Amino acid sequence: MTPDVATEHDDAWFDALFAAHSGAVHRYFLRRLPAGDGSRDEAEDLAADVLATAWRRRTDVPRGAELPWLYRTAGYVLANHRRKHRALPVAAVPDEPDDVDPAVLAVTDDRVRRALAGLSPRDRRILLLVAWDGLGGDDLAEVLGVGRGGADAALSRARARLRDVWAQGDEDASEGDAPSGATSDGTQGSRP
């Protein structure tokens, strides 16, 4: 640890970091863990893991970008947590993987949930970091591990894909509302 960082990242620094960001880290996990018994306790435990990592690796926490660093670390902690809970006996492995993201399950609007489920995990993660966690610009870039331009482009692509999925849902819904044999303009088409 260099003398500058050692002096700067002391007990007072950590107390300030905890006061400023522990609630945001806790909410990050609450939004992403499946609701139910113990999810609050799990969120607290995982948030504590992230904050303990921040203390252990305090020389790696960039000045001015503490929250993005914490979110990025939280993403790793959550991925490790999910891996631990996916252990299944070989005989019980399903034919199709379960790609249900608890963040999607937390959304109560079926249409929004279907639209989010139609996105790639990366697009969904980017949109949720912006919508739920309020990240943008440099902070989003830091969490994603890319430059600012890359983060802006990734967000733009994710939004465009969400618009496409949403529009497809509108088309599917309008086709489902049309009476049997009706064309898209609502008139009856010719029947064979």
pLDDT value of residue 171: 78
Separation CA 52–CA 143 (nearest Å): 18
pLDDT value of residue 92: 59
Residue from 20, 18, 27 nearest 132 by CA: 27
Question: Do residues 186 and 178 lie in contact, with contact meaning Cβ atoms separated by under 8 Å?
Answer: yes
Separation CA 166–CA 161 (nearest Å): 8
Residue from 159, 158, 128, 165 nearest 143 by CA: 128
Instruction: Show pLDDT as tens, one digit a residue, over the chain (192 residues).
Output: 444 555 677 899 999 999 999 999 999 999 888 877 677 888 999 999 999 999 999 999 999 999 999 999 999 999 888 877 665 555 655 566 555 655 555 666 778 888 888 999 999 999 989 988 888 888 998 888 888 888 898 999 999 999 999 888 877 766 765 444 444 444 444 444
101-176 — its CATH code? 1.10.10.10
**Tokens 């999607």 found at:** 104
pLDDT value of residue 108: 66
The residues facing 182 across adjacent strands are 188
Separation CA 160–CA 49 (nearest Å): 35
Task: Enumerate the domain spans of the chain.
Answer: 1-87, 101-176
Provide the terminal-to-terminal Cα distance of the chain, rounded to the nearest Å: 80
pLDDT value of residue 84: 75
**Fold annotation for 1-87:** Rna Polymerase Sigma Factor; Chain: A (1.10.1740)
